[in-house]
Structure 1
Amino acid sequence: MSEYADIIIRNLTLYSFRNYLQNDIVHLLFSKLDYVCIPNYINTTNDEDSKSYTKHMYKTTVQKAKERLDALGFTISRFETLFNQSRNEAIDYSPFLFKLNIDYDSYEEIIKKRIDKYVTFKKWINSINKIIKYELKHGRSYPFINDDKEKMGIRTECDKIIYYSLKEDLMESFYGLKVEVIPIAYILRLILESCEPVDEIILDFTYLSAWAEDAIPKGRLAAENDEKTIVLVEGTSDKEILEFAIAKFYPHLSDLFYFMDFEDGYGGKRGGGASLIVTNLKAFYFSKLKSKFIAIFDNDVEGYQSKCSLENDIKNWSDNIKIFLYPQDKLFKSYPTLLPNGTICNDDINKKACSIELYLPDSIIKENEVFYPIEWEARRKIKNGSDEEYLYQGVITHKEEIKKKFISMRNKIEAGNQPFIEEDWKRIKKILDTIVFAFTI
């Protein structure tokens, strides 16, 4: 006798597992931080004499799951492109055409005609929304009873394609789409669009223990994600700051990213700086590695020059590689700079002097309520495509003091002695958003 575990949103059974959880599905919605263990749990809804047991589950929200799928690149906009490119092959029309008593040998020709006439991505979204809204409220009977069709308001062509696909529970499709053509992650992402952001997504896999002793240990590993996006930054400070911040802003996404190390834990070290990012990224590109890579440079002259160099040398980077500068901010439009005669003058320091330190909370880069100024260094020529420009490289003063202040604040926050105030870290969050949602377009 098999055992089952379901992903549930309200009354909607989103996905069912038989005997064991599937890593390739679980990690799309949940991180290992979403695992919940409740010892001595008693289900009071069934029987007053119920015995206690240990409950094993994953729990997240729709909003977090949407962000996770987006960060993995399974966005609605990408889904639309894929849907429009492959809809003839992707749509599971067979259950509906069978219902219409159409001869199987005519399916291919009829499918093309009916899709051209009746099916668009917008209509597909509307139908998914209609059916999911119904299931969220009422659930779904297996198989559908006759009343369901009328209650759900099944009228359009897209409604009927999805409805009859779900009605035929043995068909190898998911909500009317063949998963070998449209990855299931895209379909899940579209379904979540019809749910409320605060809706809980729950996967209780407690009862899988009745199938096998290893079902629970394996279930606890099912949210592990081995295919991380590799992020290349210029130095150890960048790595430390961004790893700390992503754990605060996006703990449910932090397992999707690996900030490339500068030390191996055994005394081995590698160099940093923009030039090393350039060298490493080119090596990854020419090695034709399939992993996702993000190279993100300081928003200063050296970083800008390196980004331009990469884009000048290789015109068409593969889709698994993204190249960015740290984002601009209104603070940097008019920031204190130190002139050679010692006077302070506000200047636009974008693409000139914005290293990771400039994105830290104001209290870290200020002394006596005054920002630490930028000190100008060498003048450099930047070639951006066919254009050339000359910019001065700038560096924030008191870098060592800033680093000490960051470490002190981080340690206090992690020890629970100081709150993490998101507004204070808003500039760092801009960097994180650039990284986390790099593959959403």
Structure 2
Amino acid sequence: MGSYCSLSINGINIYYQKNKFSESHLKLFSPLEFTKYKEILDGEEVERILLRTTVKKAKTRLEILGCNLGRLEKYFIDNLEYQLSNFEEDEEENYTLEEEYYRDLTLEEYTRNLKAILETSNLDIRDANIFEKHTNIDNNSITIKIITSLSTGRYLNPFFWDWIYENEGYLIDEILDIYICLISCNEDSIVEYDLTDATYSGYIEESKIQEFYDNFKDTTIIIPEGKTDIKVLSKSLEFLFPEYKYLFTFFDFDNFRADGGTSYLSKLLKSFSAAKINNRIIAIFDNDTAAEVEIQALTDIPISKNIRIMKLPTLDFCDNYPTIGPTGINNANVNGFAVSIELFFGEDIIKENNEFHPIQWTNYNDRLRRYQGSITNKSEIIVKMEDKLRNPNHDNQDWSKLIYLWETIFKQNT
């Protein structure tokens, strides 16, 4: 007969996999979210084996992996056109329920109706009186299709009324089908992948789950301007967001004997585009004048679509930051002129005697008509930050700017 692994949101099973786990489903979770607990079932104590996370975290992971609304909308439009092409126009509009479903179907309507189902507490999806008991769920062709799929164990996909024929499998994107479910739910809803039955039946081994994460290949490569950026980003990710750590790898400057800098990063991106590197890449430039020069130059070059170019995000406190120039010390907006990774280290690092280490204005760029700047006492600041990374804690250290930076990085594919 076999055993199943089941994926659920808010207690409602949405997908099943017989006798094995789905790698697509594992991508919703972190190995840190693997859990076991005991419960009484039919008078016997049973140990449940599962992965558990929130919709917000699962959705973030899929977005890091390349899911976004634009890609989803294209997927929806293309598949809907395919299905509608199978129906001839009926002048009298004597549509079957299936035809009515496809003619009513839009991404907005599908997610609205799916949301009503997935967010209904204590829902028995097989209850014949579901519409009478749960008046928040509309009785229409879309909800009937969703409920039928969920209650019969059919694959939950918006575009196939009942079965998916073998020659149509290429139309399915399992990750986007899951993404539709996630964007249709509150972010604090619980997502679970129950491996209990398949594990106890001997079809899967717990070690294989960890092995999947240990050998995860579909990573996003982070390439900032230099070695300090790499050290700070990798260590802060491990401390602040360990649940997303396995999704990223970092460019190895030491292995390539690379010095770093804006021009080197620009050359790397050109090389990777020419070599057609397939990994998702996020290139992170400083938010300064030198970076703006390179980024403008890159707009004239066909950079691969899998490469995202970003600058360090704007910081509010940098709108009025102390600077040193020819006329002495003045406060100025340094966003876009002199924001480097050091300004994300936290006030406990870049302040001394309650005063910010100032920015020193240096080179003037004639074309952009603005100065380049960098923070003073940089070596001392980096040493302090390295100590902070060795001994991190949330209680008396300022990590707010690095949290903000990472949250910005997570959204680069959206």
Match for residue 403 of structure 2? 429
Task: State the distance in 2 between where 1:165 and 1:56 align.
Answer: 25
Residue 329 (str. 1) matches residue 315 (str. 2) = yes
Give 1:95-244 correspondences, 5 Å limit. Answer: 111=99, 115=102, 117-134=103-120, 136-141=121-126, 146-148=128-130, 153=137, 155-166=139-150, 169=153, 174=157, 177=160, 180-212=170-202, 215-223=205-213, 225-244=216-235
Q: For residues 270 and 318 of structure 1, do their structure 2 counterparts lie closer, same or farther at Cα, with a shift above 3 Å needed?
A: closer
Superposed CA deviations along residues 331-355 of structure 1, whole A, max 9, x for unmatched, are 22221111246x3111222222111
Match for residue 90 of structure 2? none
Q: For residues 409 and 89 of structure 1, do their structure 2 counterparts lie closer, same or farther at Cα, with a shift above 3 Å needed?
A: same
Secondary structure of 2:252's counterpart equals coil
Q: For residues 132 and 56 of structure 1, do their structure 2 counterparts lie closer, same or farther at Cα, with a shift above 3 Å needed?
A: closer
Q: For residues 122 and 206 of structure 1, do their structure 2 counterparts lie closer, same or farther at Cα, with a shift above 3 Å needed?
A: closer
Which one is further off, 297-306 or 15-24? 15-24
Task: State the distance in 1 between where 2:129 and 2:203 align.
Answer: 41
Residue 259 (str. 1) matches residue 244 (str. 2) = no
Unaligned runs of 5+ residues in structure 2 are 88-93
- Note the C-alpha offset of 1:406: 0.7
Task: State the distance in 1 between where 2:59 and 2:332 align.
Answer: 40
TM-score normalised by length of structure 2: 0.85
Secondary structure of 1:363's counterpart equals helix
Secondary structure of 2:365's counterpart equals strand
Give 1:294-313 correspondences, 5 Å limit. Answer: 294-311=282-299, 313=300
Task: State the distance in 2 between where 1:43 and 1:318 align.
Answer: 51
Task: State the distance in 1 between where 2:203 and 2:139 align.
Answer: 47
Q: For residues 292 and 332 of structure 1, do their structure 2 counterparts lie closer, same or farther at Cα, with a shift above 3 Å needed?
A: same
TM-score normalised by length of structure 1: 0.80
Q: For residues 22 and 120 of structure 1, do their structure 2 counterparts lie closer, same or farther at Cα, with a shift above 3 Å needed?
A: closer
Secondary structure of 1:281's counterpart equals helix
Task: State the distance in 1 between where 2:95 and 2:355 align.
Answer: 77
Secondary structure of 1:393's counterpart equals strand
Whether the 8 Å contact between 1:166 and 1:175 is mirrored in structure 2 is no
Q: Select the residue among 50, 57, 61 that pairs with 2:50.
A: 57
Task: State the distance in 2 between where 1:207 and 1:123 align.
Answer: 35
Task: State the distance in 2 between where 1:374 and 1:123 align.
Answer: 52
- Percent identity among equivalent residues? 27
Whether the 8 Å contact between 1:82 and 1:182 is mirrored in structure 2 is no
Which one is further off, 322-331 or 159-168? 159-168
Q: Select the residue among 42, 65, 78 that pairs with 1:72.
A: 65
Count of aligned residue pairs for this structure pair: 399
Q: For residues 190 and 209 of structure 1, do their structure 2 counterparts lie closer, same or farther at Cα, with a shift above 3 Å needed?
A: closer
Match for residue 350 of structure 1? 335
Structure 2 counterpart of 1:308, one-letter code: Q
Q: For residues 114 and 127 of structure 1, do their structure 2 counterparts lie closer, same or farther at Cα, with a shift above 3 Å needed?
A: closer
- Note the C-alpha offset of 1:168: 5.3
CA RMSD, 1 decimal = 3.2
Whether the 8 Å contact between 1:21 and 1:218 is mirrored in structure 2 is no
Residue 389 (str. 1) matches residue 368 (str. 2) = yes
Whether the 8 Å contact between 1:154 and 1:160 is mirrored in structure 2 is no
Q: Select the residue among 291, 314, 317 that pairs with 2:303.
A: 317
Q: Select the residue among 377, 394, 406 that pairs with 1:419.
A: 394
Task: State the distance in 1 between where 2:190 and 2:86 align.
Answer: 32
